[in-house]
Amino acid sequence: MRLVCVLDTGDLRAAADFWCAALGFEREEAQHGPYLALRDPGGRWPDLLLQQVPEPKAGKNRMHLDMVVHDVEAEIARVRALGARVLRPVFEEDGHLLAVLADPEGNEFCLVERLDGTLGG
């Protein structure tokens, strides 16, 4: 079995630009119908498959990506420069600093910094 995460988007190219820059992924050269695959060049993480859909995002995501980082404030600045917006500023919860953001289309994701200084496993 192989796990792939799928994210609906109204603009495949713009979403690919954002998520490749945010995650350090590379886009697959070929587009397959309404899909465009983004891959981790190191092969550690599941692919992010972007799916072109006609309707805009509505409501809260039922599933989202968490990006565990060493410095949540620095990462907020980096992804905001890519077009993300902060939905909930940094807060502490259960040994973590967290911030809730949205990509340019409004898809939520979290930035997480573990207070023990590790990235976890």
Give the residue numbers spanning the domain of 119.
64-121
Q: Does the pLDDT at position 121 exceed 70?
A: no
Q: Does the pLDDT at position 60 exceed 90?
A: no
User: Tens of pLDDT along 76-119?
Assistant: 999 999 999 999 999 999 999 999 999 999 999 999 999 998 98
Give the CATH number of the domain where residue 12 resides.
3.30.720.120
Q: If 0-12 CB within 10 Å is exposed, 13-18 middle and 19+ buried, where does residue 16 land?
A: buried
pLDDT band at 29 (very low <50, low <70, confident <90, very high): confident
Query: Into how many domains does the chain fold?
Result: 2
User: Tens of pLDDT along 1-19?
Assistant: 988 999 999 999 999 999 9
20 assigned to some structural domain: yes
Neighbours of 55 (CB within 10 A): 7
Q: If 0-12 CB within 10 Å is exposed, 13-18 middle and 19+ buried, where does residue 2 land?
A: exposed
